[in-house]
Each structure stands twice: as C-alpha cells, then as structure tokens.
Chain A
Amino acid sequence: MMILLYFIALLLAGIASGLVGAMSGLGGGVVIIPILTLLFGVPLEYAAGASLISTIATSSGAASAYVKDKLANIKIGMSLEIATTLGAIIGSLLAAYVYANGISKWLFVLFGAVLLLSLYPTFRQYEDVHRKRINQDWSTDIFQLRGSYYDKAVRRTIKYSGYRWPLGEAIMGVAGLISGLLGIGSGVLKVMGMDWGMKLPMKVTTSTSNFMIGVTAVTGSAIYWTLGYIQPFIAAPVVIGILFGAYFGSKLLQRTANRSVRLLFLVLLGIIGVEMVLRGFGVA
C-alpha cells in the first residue's frame, strides 16, 4: 500500500513538473530534480536520470504539438543540435567523474547557480518582447535562419529571421554540457542562445528549445543508462506524469501571451535556484 502511494506521489510530481516545463520552455527537469531530491530524498544521480529521460518525453510530447503548429523551427533546431549533442556527451562523462568521486554536493550548487544566472537575461528581456524580429548577417543565409508562425495571442502571422549562428552554436555547446552534467534539458540556456544570441522571437525559441531537448537528452540518457543512473521505479512514473503535464502545458502555452509565461519563469526559477544552492552547502 505504501509503495502504491509512493508511486502515485511520483506520478503527481511528474505532472506538476511537466506542466511547468512545457509552458516555460525549460523542460520538466529543473522542477522534478529539486522535487525528487529535496522532497522525496532520492539520490541526485537517480533524480538526474529520471529527469533526463523524462525531458525526452516532455520534448517529444509537447514538440509534436509545436511542430504541427509550426511554432518550432526544425532547421534552426537541428543545426544547433550539433553542439548540444557533443556538449551532452562531455557533460555526462563529467557527471560520471563527479558521482564516482563523491563530490555531488557541488552539482546542487551548480544546479542552483545555473538557474539563478538564467534569471538575469530572462528579466532583461521581459521588457523587450516587441523588439525587431528581422536580423541578418552571413549566417542567416547559409543556415536558413528564417521562418514564420501564426501567433494565436495577437491573431496574425509573424515573419522572423535570426543571425549570429556561431554565437548560438557556442551557447548550445554549454547547454549540452550542462544537460549531461545535471540531467536537465537545459531549456534556459537553449532559449538564451536563440533569444539573446540569435535574436529569434520568444515563441519560436521556447518551442524550438523544447523540440531540441529530446535529442540533447537522449545523448546523455544513453550514457546515464550504462552508468546506472536510471532507476525504473522512480524514473517511469515521473516520465508518464511529465508527459501528461507537458501535454496540458503545451495547450496552455498557445493561449498565453509572452508576459505571463515569463513571469512564471522568474518566480519558479528564483525559489528553486536558492533552495538547491542551500542544499549544496548543507543548509537546507
């Protein structure tokens, strides 16, 4: 009976994480890892394993909706996955080193720090929603960094183009490394790379990020599998929960303007980031 309740609790934790993960473009990982470690007392490597494999579900579940609605830019996403996959291989091998040497408390600190650092660019752009959507340089043409989408919130088709592909690619390398190291989709960094780096519209960056997360996460997950970081009883309910949460999250995202999505970003990131840093230093 207790085991069944534990299973249901894991499922509910997954639903909550999936909802927030899809709506914010972060992936469920940044929410489920603190829930599993801080509330459920699950070891960080199992939390990271459950998180990483479930971000594949978040990505595939939500992205299938985004792709159909043409919010996600498949080409831009694919070109940036060169760096995220290489970064994820290096990151997951680094994670193996960290866990083998018993210094995982630094991963809690890093986890919190990554979230808190991501507050700055998010906050800065919060007032910058209606900026110029057409930017061009040499990489715009070579890598075909153009597209258009129908924005349900303002009811019209928005054309856009991005630039500074090498900068985007460099940020994606770091995003991949963090993904493999911490077991998250690194949605924050991916959004930063496309939003701040390549100046793509926010709706496109969040959905393309969500789309890309699956490929990044599967890279790390394959290595996590061999390392034994995936505990099926913990990972699987989280995966199912996150899938359903992400489904409803992606439905909600289409009906929400940029403003409320970002506010949700800020509040959640702040609280979770501080909690994880404190845990790393042994305070909480």
Chain B
Amino acid sequence: MDMNYVISYVLRIGVVASVLLVSAGFILLFVNNGSNGLALSQIASANSGINSSIFTVPAIIGGIFAYQGIDFILLGLIVLMATPVTRVFFSIFAFLYNKNWIYAVITLIVFIDLMIAVFVVPSLLVR
C-alpha cells in the first residue's frame, strides 16, 4: 500500500470539502444578508461576541438543513479540523499493515493526544 498516496488523497478530499462548504456559507450569508437570526453587520463584527463558543455541533448540523450561512461556514471549518485527525487515524492502520509496530504505537499515541484535545479538554472547560 502506498501510504504517501493515501495520505495525499485524504488531505485533498478534506480540504476541497471544506472550501466548498465555506464558500456555500458565504454565498448564503451575503445573499440572505445574515444568518441564524443575526444581521450581517453583527456577524462581521469582532466585538459582537459572535464566535465558535456559542455554536454546538448538533445545532450546526440542524442549521445546514435550514440553509444558514454561518452553519455552513462552521461545518466547513470542522471538516478542515477533522482532516489531519482522519489522516492520523488511517496512518495507524497503514503502519500495522506494513508491520511497522513501533510506528503503529507512535501513531496511536498521537491519535490519543488528539482525542484528549478534541473531547476531554473541551468537556472539562465547559463544565
């Protein structure tokens, strides 16, 4: 298995999906002159308190079906963040397949670090 090819492919798909979602989000945002019940001027302001902390993943998914621009943009950013995580996840199996045990363990450790950052730390911060 050519790992270089697989990794290159994963990275490219994630990035393209992210760009499409974010672009769709901005088109919706400008066409509708706002999103999620917020005016465009509020959304564009750095002082209005509109930021990632007030959006949850389930709410973002719900907003996609209601064609809310902000939710498309945020989902695009989440896809972008998921791309390297997916790459690391696939690499664990690629190293196992190639019987490179030490690198399978190393990659698993990196993946555990990522899971701590994505799930454990945020749940402690919110509490």
Contacts and interface: CB of A to CB of B under 8 A. Distances in A.
The answer to whether A and B assemble together is: yes
Interface of A: 3-4, 6-7, 41-43, 46, 49, 53, 56-57, 59-61, 63-65, 67-68, 70, 74-75, 78-79, 81-82, 85-86, 88-89, 92-93, 96, 142-144, 214-215, 217-237, 239-240, 243
A225 B52 contact: yes
B5 interface: yes
B121 A93 contact: yes
B81 A53 contact: yes
Nearest to A214: B84
Interface of B: 3-5, 7-9, 11-12, 14-15, 18-19, 22-23, 25-26, 29-30, 40-41, 43-44, 46, 50-54, 70, 73-74, 76-77, 80-81, 83-85, 87-88, 91, 100, 102-103, 106-107, 109-110, 113-114, 116-118, 121-122, 125-126
Contact of B81 (A56, A85, A96): A56
8 cross-chain pairs, A with B, having the tightest CB-CB distances, nearest first: A228-B53, A85-B113, A230-B52, A214-B84, A226-B122, A64-B11, A219-B117, A228-B51
5 contacts: A7-B30, A61-B15, A228-B53, A229-B51, A237-B26
B119 to A, nearest CB: 8
B83 A214 contact: yes
A6 B7 contact: no
Contacts of B23: 240
B30 A4 contact: yes
A255 to B, nearest CB: 20
Contacts of B110: 78, 81-82, 85, 215
Nearest to B55: A232
B84 A142 contact: no
Interface residues of chain A: helix, strand, loop or mixed (majority): helix
Interface residues of chain B: helix, strand, loop or mixed (majority): helix
Contacts of A56: 80-81, 83-84
Given A63-B11, A215-B114, A222-B122, A239 B77 contact: yes
A15 B4 CA distance: 27
Contact of A64 (B15, B51, B77): B15
B30 to A, nearest CB: 7
Contacts of A81: 88, 110, 113
A89 B11 contact: no
A86 B115 CA distance: 11
A43 to B, nearest CB: 6
B80 A70 contact: no
B11 A67 contact: yes
A237 to B, nearest CB: 8
B121 A218 contact: no
A215 B86 CA distance: 10
A236 B25 contact: yes
Nearest to B14: A60
A3 B46 CA distance: 12
A233 B14 contact: no
A234 to B, nearest CB: 7
A262 B78 CA distance: 33
Contacts of A223: 117, 121-122, 125
A236 B15 contact: no
